[in-house]
Amino acid sequence: MDHFNYVDGWLHAEEVPLARIAAKVGTPVYVYSAATLTRHFKLFQQALDWTDHLVCFAVKANSNIAVLKLLGDLGAGMDIVSGGEYARARAAGVPGERIVFSGVGKLEPEMRMALEGGIRQFNVESEPELELLSRVAVSMGVEVPIAVRVNPDVDAKTHEKIATGKSENKFGIPIARARAVYAHAARLPGIRVVGIDMHIGSQLTDLEPYRQAYAKMAELTRALRADGHAITRLDMGGGLGIPYRRDNNAPPLPIEYGQVIRDAVGDLGCEIEIEPGRNIAGNAGILLSSVIYLKQGEGRDFLILDAAMNDLIRPAMYSAHHDIVPVREPAPGAEVAPHDVVGPVCETGDTFQKAVDLPVLAPGDLVALRSAGAYGAVMASEYNSRPLVPEVLVSGDQFAVIRARPTLEEMLGRDTIPEWL
């Protein structure tokens, strides 16, 4: 459920008409609903209320500092993968004790930054990383709590580019090697083993891969404890999918996911961490765009928008589907016709969706691309020298620009011409 609904014939974000935001901020623009973010975060809190837990929002899904502050103020932890994300989480007021550091390629300065500023745990993905982390910690005179990310070799049954839990993926340590790696970790100075981490992929629409992975996690917890390690935390990763289409079967709910965790590891007495990103932010955002032209092609009609693949890359990159709806509610029984909805960027991949049934629209009319709150703005670029798309946060009847659209001067001002040119 989200808070983007038609009220009196116009699509609203909570109580704010999207047309009002377009008039004030211009388009394209991302619009997020604070009530939806809050609701989704609380669903995960409730799903784990049977035990000590920390819901760590995966910052990569939406890293706007205002969004992070909203979630942080509700008690969220943060799952970060870079020094930049660490800085954003801290700027949002999230304390280091609630920040988990994931990622396969952590750099030494990033390690230092997190150790200086405070960190809950590092999710270590390889032995070279473990050794570097040990050296850095010793040089700073600190001890780092770590979990090792274990690759359970489970098929997450999702898009191949976002599956991470198969043995051929670059992530984690093969589960067969886990005991040896933990033994190594326990011998390293500056390292304190506290838990196990797994993340098998994103946009999972079936709980079965989780069941398989978490069964392996439970077994490994017992084996590691028998080896003498104090395993007190289990990081179950993120990945629970969201409905991208209103009309198809919805993926499992957070409460059902929480039950899968409980069934698998509930008897181990561990604190549970999860790292949902998409499920909290995805349906809490839309990309609001204006129609530039209607163009008749050979046997098809194109709707050319002012949003493009540089603003929302998911359709071009993963053939992802985002529902596209007019902001003016179509009258019941209004005539619709199929349109290929495209952006202005100079490649054919700049197509949001083909043959979308839409009512008659005119230049200047507004459309919303739904489910764009996760992996939308964060993956935007300035391709074709289009300034980065701005972001707006709505709460009730108020809204605020939480990232301004850069001016052309700002965009150009980052380049410099060497004096010898």
Binding site for ligand LLP (CB under 6 A): 58, 60-61, 79, 102, 162, 199, 202-203, 237-239, 275-279, 314, 318, 374-375
**Token digits for 278?**
């998409």
Q: Toward ligand LLP, which CB reaches closer, 203 or 290? A: 203
Beta bridge partners of residue 80, listed in sequence order: 101
Q: Which parts are annotated binding residues for substrate?
A: 278, 314, 318, 347, 375
At its nearest, how many Å lie between ligand LLP and the CB of residue 210?
12
Q: How far is the CB of 252 from ligand LLP (least distance, A)?
A: 13
Nearest CA-CA partner of 244 in 323, 135, 162: 323
Q: Which is nearer to ligand LLP, 155 or 329 (CB)?
A: 155
Shortest Å, Cβ 318 to ligand LLP: 6
Show binding-site residues. 239, 275-278, 314, 318, 347, 375
Inter-helix orientation angle 34-47/65-73, to 10°: 40
Rounded-to-integer distance, Cα 407 and Cα 93, Å = 28
- Between 174 and 413, name the residue whose CB sits nearer to ligand LLP: 174
Strand partners, 285: 32
- Evaluate whether 378 touches 61 at the Cβ level (below 8 Å): yes
User: CB 196 → ligand LLP: shortest distance, Å?
Assistant: 13
Annotated binding-site residues for pyridoxal 5'-phosphate read 239, 275-278, 375
Alpha-carbon distances, residue 102 vs 66, 105, 135, 166, 214 (angstroms):
22, 9, 18, 18, 19
Min dist. Cβ of residue 414 to ligand LLP (A): 25
DSSP code string of 39-71: HHHHHHHHHTTTS-EEEEEEGGG---HHHHHHH
How many whole angstroms separate alpha carbon 233 and alpha carbon 304?
50
The distance of closest approach from Cβ of residue 305 to ligand LLP in the complex, given in angstroms and rounded to an integer, is 19
Strand stretches in 8-159, DSSP E: 10-13, 16-17, 29-33, 53-58, 77-80, 99-101, 121-124, 144-151
Residue 237 vs 258, nearer CB to ligand LLP: 237
Catalytic residues: 346
Tokens of 234: 């289990």
H helix and E strand count, the chain:
12, 21
The Cα diameter of the chain in Å comes to 71
Task: Please give the single-letter amino acid code of residue 355.
Answer: A
The DSSP 8-state label assigned to residue 204 in this structure reads B
Nearer to ligand LLP, 3 or 278 (CB): 278
8 Å CB contact between 318 and 163: no
Shorter beta-carbon distance to ligand LLP: residue 273 or 365: 273
Closest CA to 288 of 366, 353, 358: 366
Closest listed residue to residue 219, CA positions, set 258, 155, 264: 264
**Helix (H/G/I), strand (E/B), else coil: 119:** coil
State which residue, 22 or 181, has the beta carbon closest to ligand LLP.
181
Q: Distance between CA 391 and CA 19 in Å, rounded?
A: 15
What is the Cα–Cα distance from 86 to 210, expressed in whole angstroms? 28
